[in-house]
Structure 1
Amino acid sequence: MILVGAVSEIPVGESVRVQGQVAIAVFNVDGEFYAIDDTCTHQDASLSDGWLEGCAVECPLHAACFDLRTGRPSGPPARKAVRTHEVVLVDGQVYVHETIGNNDTVERPAYAEEVA
């Protein structure tokens, strides 16, 4: 597991970036923590620099939005999901259990038929 930091160090509505095998963005949404790959699948921007709205993050480069719970994009320009990672809280500390593998099974999100 990767130590992210103390719960108190990640304010509600904020994110931090940690390094695993890849960069991982960790978000605090109303006290619930979510972790996804930090790199947008559209054009490699850092999602931890994006805008958080509810359980979605908007990429700062081209406004692709990803659901923090599933990693799936909500619409163009991104067509591929980002990996999600399990977040564990232990004694006031936030840890990420990095997912190994990829999201190749989520190549075409539901909206893809509308834009294909």
Structure 2
Amino acid sequence: MSTAGGARTVVLCQRDDVPDGEARRFDVEGHRIALARIDDDFYAIGDQCSHQNYSLADGWVWPDECALECPQHSSSFDLRTGRPNCFPATQPVPVYEIRTQDDGVAVVLP
């Protein structure tokens, strides 16, 4: 873990821990994070669906849309912006900056 200006960088996992086209949930310092992988790119958003309290990491990654779909009511969220792409969710989820170093995947916490 490193810090700069109040932000903290925390290693979540190794690159191979998240298969391409899948997402995993990580609970770090009070943050629920869904880490999704599309090819060699990683995206981190808040894991709690803004419609109801369901884990987004249990849903489906849509590579062509760069989105993660909630398994409960099918709202999907843009992995780049956190904004919902469809109802019933209307509020965005947080987006976290990702840093890859060596074989590790880290997230920047506010």
TM range (shorter): 0.7 to 0.9
Q: If the length of structure 2 is used for normalisation, what is the TM-score? A: 0.86
Partners of 2:76 and 2:107 lie apart in 1 by 22
Partners of 2:104 and 2:31 lie apart in 1 by 21
Q: Report the residue type matching 1:90 in the other structure.
A: Q
2:27 matches 1:19: yes
Match of 2:54 in 1: 45
Q: If the length of structure 1 is used for normalisation, what is the TM-score? A: 0.81
Partners of 2:11 and 2:95 lie apart in 1 by 16
Partners of 1:95 and 1:32 lie apart in 2 by 12
Partners of 1:48 and 1:75 lie apart in 2 by 17
Q: Unaligned 5+ residue runs, structure 1?
A: 101-116
| Paired residue total | 99
Give the alignment of 1:1-116 within 5 angstroms.
Answer: 1-20=9-28, 21-54=30-63, 55-98=66-109, 100=110
Q: Which structure features the higher share of strand residues?
A: 2
Instruction: Flag as ranges the 4+ runs of structure 1 deviating above 4 A.
Output: none
Q: Unaligned 5+ residue runs, structure 2?
A: 1-8
Q: Tell me the C-alpha RMSD between the 2 structures.
A: 0.9
Q: Which structure features the higher share of helix residues?
A: 1
> What displacement does 1:57 show?
0.8
Identity %: 41
SS at structure 2 position matched to 1:8: helix
Report which structure shows greater RCO (CA 8 Å, sep ≥6).
2
Partners of 2:50 and 2:10 lie apart in 1 by 22
